[in-house]
A = this chain, B = another copy of it.
Amino acid sequence: MSKSLKDIAKFLELECEKDLEITKLLALKEADANTLSFFHDAKYLNDLKETKAGAVILEEKFLEHLPEGVVALVTDEPYKKMALATSLFTYTPSVETHEPKLLENAQIANSVNCGKNVTIGKNSKVMAGCFLGDSVTIGENCIIYPNVTIYHECKIGNNTIIHSGTVIGSDGFGFVSKDSSNTKFYQIGNVVIQDNVEIGANCTIDRATLGSTIIKSNAKLDNLIQVGHNCQIGEYSIVVSQVGLSGSTMVGQGVVIGGQCGTAGHLKIGDRAMLAARTGVTKDLEGGKVYGGFPATDIKLWRKMQVALLRLAKGK
């Protein structure tokens, strides 16, 4: 997809001094010369200063931090304007089905439905009732169990197993709420699942708002897990049933997340951290430690808290 920056600016009702061909919308950090990006949170000021974007939507007061040559679209509401811009780049779903490309010994059940340009790798099996959207690719030696849905543009690596009912690439939850309105921030990224991953039944792994939600090699996910837009789950990490990861949670390598844990968004869990069941994570967690409770704390301290409360209640 490709649009002129002038046309985009016109649609957004913003001034635009120079035209450009825009092919992608991405975060400041991932942007290149044909990308329109946006800046709406002072936390990412360094990303603004170093962006390679072609154009950026931002407030006037941050103009001074914009690298030379980057075109500015100035507004008081950069987040809302970017949301509107995503509507120009969003995918239009189609009810048509097409023949997928089956590589050597790949097999699909008759009832599988595919969009355009789907490729299924060597020795992989896609079972009954699955849906694979436009441009989905499945690697080698995968098993996709019945009734899995994989939305357009998502990529599945090699030796990966996905259990029934799981949905990969549904829209991330993004709305700009203001004055009793909920403007949709169209979710124009995708999901990338690497190699040797196993994902349980009835999970939901949302596509990225911009860019990719990534499940790295050898990660193992249990059932009924929610992975929000733009999350990353590191190599060899284990996520137990009913965990919910809010948008942009960054899970390190070799992390173990117990059942029914939850995380607030935009935080990091360090390598080899272990979270007891039902831990509620509200800020970054250092790697190599064991956590419990809500808000998450050192597990020993959390156990002390339980004991102290019990004593208090018993009047001892």
Q: Is A121 an interface residue (CB 8 A)?
A: no
Knowing A128-B113, A202-B202, A242-B244, the reply to whether A173 touches B222 (Cβ < 8 A) is yes
* CB contact between A223 and one of B113, B184, B226 (< 8 Å): that residue: B226
Task: Kindly supply a per-residue 1/0 record for chain A positions 194-207, scoring 1 wherever the CB is within 8 Å of any chain B CB and 0 otherwise.
Answer: 00001011111010
Closest chain B residue, CB of each to CB of A261 = B260
| Neighbouring B residues of A244 by C-beta, 8 Å | 224, 241-242, 259-260
CB neighbours (8 Å) of A175 from chain B are 220, 238
Contacts of A147 in B (CB 8 A): 129, 131, 147, 149, 167
Contact A224 B222 (CB under 8 A): no
**Chain B residues whose CB sits within 8 angstroms of the CB of A226 once the complex forms:** 222-224, 241-242, 259
A170 touches B201 (CB 8 A): yes
- Complex Cα gap A97–B146 (Å): 12
Q: Which listed segment binds B: A21-29, A56-64, A77-85, A103-111?
A: A103-111
Residue from B151, B242, B262, B313 within 8 A of A304 (CB atoms): B313
B200 touches A202 (CB 8 A): no
Q: Which residues of B contact A109 (CB under 8 A)?
A: 95-97, 113
* Whole-angstrom CA separation of A75 from B294 in the bound complex: 41
Q: A175-B220, A202-B165 are in contact. Are A305 and B301 (CB under 8 A)?
A: no
In the bound complex, what is the Cα–Cα distance between A36 and B125 (angstroms)? Answer: 30
Contact across chains for A126 and B95 when beta carbons are under 8 A apart? yes
Q: Is the CB of A145 within 8 A of B301?
A: no
Q: Which residues of B contact A310 (CB under 8 A)?
A: 297, 301, 305
| Cβ contacts under 8 Å, A164 to chain B | 131, 149, 151, 167, 170
Give the most central of A93, A96, A107, A146: most B CB within 10 Å. Answer: A146
Output the least CB separation between A56 and chain B (Å).
28
Residue of B nearest to A282 (CB): B277
A237, closest chain B residue (CB): B182
The distance in angstroms between the C-alpha atoms of A264 and B260, with both chains bound, is: 11
A115 to B279, CA, bound (A): 41
**Cross-chain pairs A/B with CB under 8 angstroms, 19 sampled:** A93-B125, A95-B128, A97-B111, A111-B113, A149-B165, A149-B201, A164-B167, A164-B170, A165-B165, A165-B204, A181-B218, A222-B226, A223-B226, A262-B277, A262-B278, A278-B294, A301-B310, A301-B313, A304-B313
Ranked nearest first, the 10 interchain pairs of A and B with the lowest CB-CB distance are A113-B128, A131-B146, A149-B164, A170-B201, A204-B223, A167-B201, A305-B313, A304-B313, A95-B109, A173-B222
Binding site for B on A (CB under 8 A): 93-97, 107-111, 113, 125-129, 131, 133, 143, 145-147, 149, 151, 161, 163-167, 170-171, 173, 175, 177, 180-182, 184, 198, 200-204, 206, 218, 220, 222-224, 226, 228, 236, 238, 240-242, 244, 246, 254, 256, 259-260, 262, 264, 277-278, 280, 294-295, 297, 301, 304-310, 312-314
